[in-house]
Amino acid sequence: MAYDDLRSFLRALDREGDLKRIKAEVDPHLEIGEIVDRVQKAKGPALLFENVKGSSMPLAMNVFGTERRLAKSLGLKGPDDISEKIAGLLKPELPQGFTGFRDAFGKLASMTHVPPRNVKDAPVQEVVLTGDDVNLDELPALFTWPMDGGSFFNLGLTHTKHPDTGIRNLGLYRLQRHDRRTIGMHWQIHKDSRNHYAVAQKRGERLPVAIAFGCPPAVTYAATAPLPGDIDEYLFAGFIAGERVRMVDCKTVPLQVPADAEVVIEGWLEPGEMLPEGPFGDHTGFYTPQEPFPALKIDCVTMRRRPILQSIVVGRPPTEDGPLGKFTERFFLPLLKIIIPDIVDYDLPEAGGFHNCVIVSIDKKYPKHAQKTMHAIWGAHMMSLTKLIIVVDSDCDVHDYQEVAWRAFGNVDYSRDLTVVEGPVDHLDHASYQQFWGGKAGIDATRKLPEEGYTRDGGWPEMVSSDPATAELVSRRWKEYGL
């Protein structure tokens, strides 16, 4: 089973020696960021800063910094555990298309241990602060990189609901602390919460928002998952955790939050109230520019009696984003196969920010099968933001970048096998010559068929490989060689 809350998971890591408590005073202005960046790039332990300058609140960092820790927090051996569970749930019918993707998740609702359950008393509401007692300066926000535009909360789970349908959304967005009662909401153009705010603005209404920190690990992971807008992240969190997530009504806004979170801030977004947000050293490894984003006024803060805040450091990969992205890649393979049955396997390189590049293998059956797969990916939900698609044959291990590079470098005639299109790109993409859309490429690194115009004598060449009998002989005699 997954851990019920953040602190129980930290205790487990402490017992295993995979948590480092830092008792020396550390500054959230640049110093903590430098420490965490070094530790996470070295695949080091989770960190608990117990003496953060300017705050009495401990700060947990690098909690999900390795795949092993993330798996442990979710009660899994590895990401394939859930992937296999999802695949089993979808069989035998394997519905087709995006509607089938939605219906597949709908099946989860019938599982009694999945839907969240409401409670009246919650640890996160042991302390309730309102009005002038609200002071966000007491929460340890991070000024991570020298050119950042201010201090940010990087792991606040943002709750909104659609003004018309009432469907809630749980998302993970960076949050700039403007002053003791104001937060900047970095809602990118493709995100569901931005759509909720746009609908509220058109209706001339304010939008309720609740942001939870230090949530149960399954909830935190679910907030990062690129689910369709009408799929409840708490349903997914319950499916991952194997138990229902406990939810409690907020004190001042009509929303619900995890009862076992550490801190929750509540407020309302007034129509049209914007403030400059950024710059910020983001997970792309580059600074994103300053732009106007909605400014949230905080009316209430609830917390445990001795709360722990959780955050992450993003920047040039590898970072803590890596394990989270890799788990999403594995979890969603069975679901992606529903939309695109051609796919055998895929890999989202961390160096590509998990959306700039996808490597995909197919069991090639007909001419231009690779190009068909490329266009299917560019039409599949958030996969539409992919900038580079490399298609290889099914006998290529998509996770072996040396193997993929060998195929891509050697199997491609770029006058024929390169597909260039234009389409949407991520809000944070700095390479596109205008914001939100730009050029994309697909590389067909599969074996070429005569029907595709490859008519050289002898056809496509065979790959070099060892003689099986000799390979077995050498393996048997290896110790004799003294090697």
What's 370-399 look like in SS3? Answer: HHHHHHHHCCCHHHHHCCEEEEEECCCCCC
- The whole-angstrom separation of Cα 278 and Cα 149 is 5
pTM above 0.85, yes or no: yes
Residue 236 pLDDT exceeds 90: no
Residue 93 pLDDT exceeds 50: no
Residue percentage of the chain with pLDDT more than 90: 79
Tokens of 444: 């067909």
Tokens of 71: 């798996």
State the pLDDT at residue 419: 97
Residue 165 pLDDT exceeds 50: yes
Residue 229 pLDDT exceeds 90: no
State the pLDDT at residue 106: 57
Read off the pLDDT of residues 131-155 as tens digits, 9 standing for 90 and up. 999 999 999 999 999 999 999 999 9
- The whole-angstrom separation of Cα 277 and Cα 292 is 6
More confident site: 2 or 129 = 129
Distances (CA, A) of 243 to 109, 112, 115, 160: 12, 9, 8, 23
Tokens of 38: 């070094």
Burial label, 41 (beta-carbon count in 10 A; 0-12, 13-18, 19+): middle
pLDDT classification of 103: cutoffs 50, 70, 90: low
Say what the alpha-carbon torsion angle 338, 238, 304, 62 is, to the nearest 10 degrees.
Answer: -50
State the pLDDT at residue 113: 60
Averaged pLDDT, 229-255: 90
| DSSP structure string for 308-368 | -EE----SSSSSTHHHHHHHHHHHTHHHHHHH-TTEEEEE--GGGTTTSEEEEEE---STT
Read off the pLDDT of residues 438-467 as tens digits, 9 standing for 90 and up. 999 999 999 999 999 999 999 999 999 999
Secondary structure letter of residue 56 according to DSSP: S
Active-site entry in 148, 192, 282, 444: 282
pLDDT classification of 232: cutoffs 50, 70, 90: confident
Read off the pLDDT of residues 320-367 as tens digits, 9 standing for 90 and up. 999 999 998 998 898 888 889 999 999 999 988 888 999 999 999 999
State the pLDDT at residue 91: 52
Residue 108 pLDDT exceeds 70: no
Residue 403 pLDDT exceeds 70: yes
Q: In whole numbers, what is the pLDDT of the chain averaged over residues?
A: 92
User: Can you list the alpha helix ranges (DSSP code H) found in 205-244?
Assistant: 217-224, 233-241
| Dihedral (CA of 138, 33, 76, 345) sign | positive
User: Can you list the alpha helix ranges (DSSP code H) found in 380-480?
Assistant: 401-410, 468-477
> Do the strands 157-161 and 437-444 form a parallel or antiparallel pair, or are they unpaired?
unpaired
- Can you tell me which residue has the tokens 């490329």? 374
Burial label, 240 (beta-carbon count in 10 A; 0-12, 13-18, 19+): buried
Residue 94 pLDDT exceeds 50: no
Averaged pLDDT, 294-310: 97
Residue of 172, 161, 262 lying closest to 216 (CA atoms): 262
State the pLDDT at residue 367: 96
Q: What is the chain's length?
A: 483
State the pLDDT at residue 92: 44
The letter for the amino acid at 185 is: M
282 carries an active-site annotation: yes
Please report which helix (H) or strand (E) contains residue 87, including its range: helix 80-90
Residue 283 CB: number of other CB atoms within 10 A?
24
State the pLDDT at residue 85: 72
